[in-house]
Structure 1
């Protein structure tokens, strides 16, 4: 299991006690096995780091907590364009997708327009 996790993380040095572990480019990492209560891999685990895409994570929590229908169709419109930070998007205005697809795009591709919709 340890070797699999390290390979998935593309580890950068021998942090996993395996000589064949690939490089780890992340500045910090912590992999924890909750079933055994054991740290499998760590690098700068105590460094303070901001949470990435907290807004998108909270958006997902609201959608899930409110049990919104995942099959509903949502359409990207002008209101979903980020006019504050001018972040880009690969989803054009007028695109219609089911809520589940929008949520996946928001979380997996960090799509702000999908999160907004």
Structure 2
């Protein structure tokens, strides 16, 4: 959903560090795709009470209100990471390359990437 720009916010029970805004995250699709599908720039990190967060961005999260409420049940605050898909062609990297060269271990679906140029050189 992120790669197709149907989902603009990634939800997290624990917030990433605020300094992550501006960094890049790599998105990996699990089976049957099993590859990096996109790179996204972190535009903003939002932390607020879950009801307020849903009212602000709910329709852009790729989930229903019930799914949202279930995910954040028991949390005092909810966190959202605003993503901007970068228009780059990612190389086809094997699971072994992702693990050994980038410490990215599928089926993990999310990984910070501090130097996107290193991955793009693999094309």
The interval holding the TM-score normalised by the smaller chain is under 0.3
Higher strand proportion (structure 1 or 2): 2
Give the structure, 1 or 2, with the largest relative contact order (CA under 8 Å, sep 6 or more): 2
Of the two, which has the highest radius of gyration?
1
